[in-house]
Amino acid sequence: MQDAIRVVAGDCTTTSDGRDARRERGEIVALVKPDNTVLVHDARGYQPAAWLTRAETVRFTDGEDGTRLVAGKGDESLRLDFHAVHGRAFYPASPSGPEVGTCPDCDGPLVRSGSDLACISCRRTHAIPRDADVLGTPCEDCGLPLLRVERGRVFEVCADPSCDPLADAVAAEYDGAWPCPDCGTGMNIEWRRGVRAVCPDCERVLAVPHGTTDATCDCGLPRFETPGGTRCLDSTCDAD
């Protein structure tokens, strides 16, 4: 089952090989997450008693000797031999986060999970800028929420970049407005792993930071008020 957590509980001998080699027995609950991370929980504390993060292989077998789970990644392995199984099940799993709207595809709840909007019903996801604020207003064209993003000034754009591209909005505002620090040509705005200012002549590239412009640097480029402080568009600029 895709996007599910597998749970097995019972009397188990856990054998870890690798950096933390050990062998323990007890009544535990084992979780296998969708990314193949295996977690073993017992009655002690809040941390797992054993784990293997993002295993390359996870294999369940049922035989005369009982249920066995073997997970491996490189030189590390985690083996669970169940002497008695108290219960086992699959449970649906999805990204979780603050609810920010309704999925326009299936009317399911839409949540923000890191740099994604995710529907917990149909599982469709939409990547958004990590610094964006999700507004409560849906886009009139596609139904996804509008975003508030700072790139020189505040822009409100659709969460779907194919519907209302952030780069197009920034380009309409700033294309040609910022002189290249190398040759002085007005720089163009484009999107490639973020908004960038690119010189059409010498191909100098400057990443447009998160924030709004608050002044002009001595070098002639704008200064940005960012979460980390005030800085020039050119991160290498040493002008006062």
Helix, strand or coil, per DSSP, at residue 197: strand
Question: Does 112 share its domain with 130?
Answer: yes
Question: Does 78 share its domain with 40?
Answer: yes
User: Using CA atoms, how far apart are residues 149 and 131, in angstroms rounded to an integer?
Assistant: 7
Whether 183 is covered by a domain: the verdict is yes
Residue 33: partners with Cβ closer than 8 Å, 6 or more residues away: 5, 39, 93
Whether 163 is covered by a domain: the verdict is no
What CATH number corresponds to the domain at position 38?
A: 2.70.180.20
pLDDT score of 1:
42
Tokens of 44: 């002690």
CB 131 within 8 Å of CB 146: no
Question: Does 214 share its domain with 172?
Answer: yes
Tokens of 90: 């699959």
CB 26 within 8 Å of CB 15: no
Tokens of 71: 């997970």
Question: Does 41 share its domain with 63?
Answer: yes
Question: Does 17 share its domain with 74?
Answer: yes
| C-alpha closest to that of 31 among 11, 15, 46, 48 | 48
Whether 214 is covered by a domain: the verdict is yes
pLDDT score of 69:
96
User: Using CA atoms, how far apart are residues 118 and 116, in angstroms rounded to an integer?
Assistant: 6
CB 23 within 8 Å of CB 107: no
Whether 43 is covered by a domain: the verdict is yes
Question: Does 130 share its domain with 52?
Answer: no
Whether 160 is covered by a domain: the verdict is no
CB atoms within 10 A of CB 64: 4
CB 81 within 8 Å of CB 70: no
**pLDDT tens over the chain, length 240 residues:** 468 999 999 999 999 987 778 899 999 999 999 999 999 999 998 899 999 999 999 999 988 778 999 999 999 999 999 999 999 999 999 989 999 999 999 999 999 998 999 999 998 999 998 889 999 899 999 999 999 999 889 999 999 988 888 888 888 998 999 999 999 999 998 887 778 899 999 999 999 988 898 789 988 899 999 888 889 999 888 764
User: Using CA atoms, how far apart are residues 222 and 228, in angstroms rounded to an integer?
Assistant: 16
Domain end point (choices 63, 92, 121): 92
DSSP letter assigned to residue 106:
T
Question: Does 29 share its domain with 8?
Answer: yes
CB 7 within 8 Å of CB 88: yes
Question: Does 87 share its domain with 103?
Answer: no
Question: Does 81 share its domain with 122?
Answer: no
pTM of structure: 0.71
**How many separate domains does the chain show?**
3
Tokens of 161: 């970049």
DSSP letter assigned to residue 147:
E
CB 53 within 8 Å of CB 44: no
Range of the domain at 119: 99-150
Looking at residue 232, its amino acid is C
Whether 155 is covered by a domain: the verdict is no
